[in-house]
Amino acid sequence: MTAAAPEPDDRTLAARALAGQQSAYGALMARHRDAVYRLVRGHVGDGDEALDLTQESFVAAFAALARYDGDRPFRVWIARIALNKCRDWARRRTVRRFFTFARPIDDARDIAALDATPEQALHSRRELARIHAAIASLPANLKDVLLLRTIEQMRQADTAQVLGISEKAVETRLYRARAKLAEILRD
């Protein structure tokens, strides 16, 4: 019996995708979609919007795949694209709210644990919605660092690369983000 071939790395998958191999696109997306979704969800605070923005991020990434530098982690590259999509979304949302006076979407839709009582499930959903809203209310420079370092557990150097800032700035912003989040949740 032969050992299974190792999974191709992101650089190989990107090259295969550029050569027209459709399954390589699928493999890249399957490998990174959950991380991109979590990052986007944390940024925008709404699951449905996060799904749309995750899809937009991958469409943009695949359209620009020829510009992907295989020496850099694909995860860092796609995270930067996703953050740019989130910023675009936030700008569009601000303009729409200004003109329509619509309230922001703050409700999170999460499924409670099956073994929880209805009261516990309701409390969990409310608390989770409160946390998502608190994260979404952070300034973008703090929110980005918090999501990448804490939720995505990205290394400090990779976070700095995604955001185009120094590692020390990542450290400082993460400290400020945690302090601000604690202040918001305390109120």
Taking each continuous run of H as one helix and of E as one strand, the counts in the chain are: 8, 0
Q: Is there a contact between 25 and 7 (Cβ–Cβ < 8 Å)?
A: no
Q: How far apart are the first and last CA of the chain?
A: 62
Q: pLDDT tens digit string along 2-27?
A: 566 778 899 999 999 989 899 999 99
Q: pLDDT tens digit string along 156-182?
A: 998 998 889 999 999 999 989 888 888
Asked if pLDDT for residue 28 goes beyond 90, the answer is yes
Q: What is the pTM of this model?
A: 0.61
Asked if pLDDT for residue 99 goes beyond 50, the answer is no
User: For the chain, which domains are there?
Assistant: 10-108+115-186 (1.10.1740.10)
